[in-house]
């Protein structure tokens, strides 16, 4: 079984418009699929810097090339690491924001609600905050906000209250505990869609995914050469909205970023007005690609 099947592989690499002698960054190495194809398009003077917080991804998917650098770090710190290597500008930045198939399928990682797994969900096992810590230690307002903002769960107040009530009697350690805690809610008997949103919200909080994405996008502006490409694959509306607004409006909301004189600030030219999505053939081969959206911006 493959460690991870890369999503929108050719579309994303074509979106980078790779120069053979250019310098590129793959912010989400995972199984190395995107990195390998980038390296295939580089000559010996081209360079690729790849990042991942998951030690297992780094250890299990090694690539031995002199022009390849694999760094264990959250991608929001990519600027510090490439500066250490003497790099101040790059020609392309790629990020595939999804959870890898290996992480989902590895029950010990606790990303899936299938089976009675312990609630972990850490991308990097070096982090202290786990899903269990969030569920057992956050107050009701914090839990409610996380479920609403990161999962778009409408009855988040009721769910947060049920979680607090349950944990006062018993610590929430695994999937069965969490499902038991919320068994009384009327959400179509805990449908697949609802549970996916619930686990997504908790995972985003555990890994600080939204703040990391914002920080990375802002840093990309300073590190991309003119005509350099920013290529992002997202999997839910929160991420996609941030990426879309940043590429189109240079801000994280629907209003243009403006300078001191009220003039629009434009960092990127949008290459694709509508997101690129997987074709039916890809979805048939990899059902987890179904929700993927690819956006490409070119640095002005």
Specify the domain boundaries for CATH 1.10.150.170 within the chain: 107-207
Whole-number Å distance between alpha carbons of 246 and 266: 9
pLDDT of the residue at 185 = 77
What is the per-residue pLDDT across 98-122, written as a single tens digit (0 to 9) for each?
876 667 767 778 788 888 889 999 9
CA dist., res. 281 & res. 272, Å (int)? 21
Residue 172 or residue 1, greater confidence: 172
CA 275 from chain center: how many Å? 16
Continuous segment of H or E residues that includes residue 217:
helix 209-223
- Kind and range of the H or E element at 23? strand 23-26
CATH fold of 107-207: DNA polymerase; domain 1 (1.10.150)
List alpha helices for 152-279, DSSP H.
156-167, 175-181, 192-207, 209-223, 237-249
CATH 3.40.50.150 in the chain, residue ranges: 9-102+209-299
CATH fold for the domain made of 9-102+209-299: Rossmann fold (3.40.50)
- Tens of pLDDT, residue by residue over 214-262, are 999 999 999 999 999 999 999 999 999 999 999 999 999 989 888 889 8
């Amino acid at each position: 079984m493959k460690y991870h099947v890369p999503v929108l592989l050719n579309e994303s690499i074509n979106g980078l418009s790779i120069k053979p002698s250019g310098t590129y960054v793959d912010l989400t190495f995972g199984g190395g699929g995107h990195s390998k194809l980038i390296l295939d398009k580089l000559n010996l003077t081209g360079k690729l810097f790849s990042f991942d917080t998951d030690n297992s991804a780094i250890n299990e998917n090694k690539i031995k090339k002199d022009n390849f650098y694999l760094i264990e770090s959250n991608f929001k710190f990519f600027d510090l690491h490439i500066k250490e290597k003497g790099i101040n500008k790059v020609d392309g930045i790629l990020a595939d924001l999804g959870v890898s198939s290996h992480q989902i399928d590895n029950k010990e990682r606790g990303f899936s609600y299938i089976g009675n797994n312990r609630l972990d969900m850490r991308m990097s096992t070096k982090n202290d905050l786990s899903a269990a810590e969030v569920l057992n230690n956050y107050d009701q307002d914090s839990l409610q906000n996380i479920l609403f903002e990161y999962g778009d769960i409408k009855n988040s107040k009721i769910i947060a209250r049920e979680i607090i009530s349950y944990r006062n009697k018993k610590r929430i350690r695994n999937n069965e505990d969490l499902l038991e805690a919320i068994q009384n809610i009327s959400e179509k008997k805990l449908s697949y869609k609802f549970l996916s949103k619930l686990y997504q919200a908790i995972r985003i909080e555990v890994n600080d995914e939204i703040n990391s994405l914002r920080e990375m996008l802002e840093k990309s502006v300073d590190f991309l050469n003119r005509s350099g490409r920013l290529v992002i694959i997202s999997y839910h509306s929160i991420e996609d909205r941030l990426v879309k607004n940043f590429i189109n409006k240079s801000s994280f909301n629907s209003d243009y970023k403006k300078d001191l004189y009220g003039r629009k600030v434009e960092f990127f030219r949008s290459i694709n007005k509508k997101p690129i999505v997987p074709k039916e053939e890809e979805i048939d081969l990899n059902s987890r690609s179904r929700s993927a959206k690819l956006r490409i911006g070119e640095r002005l």
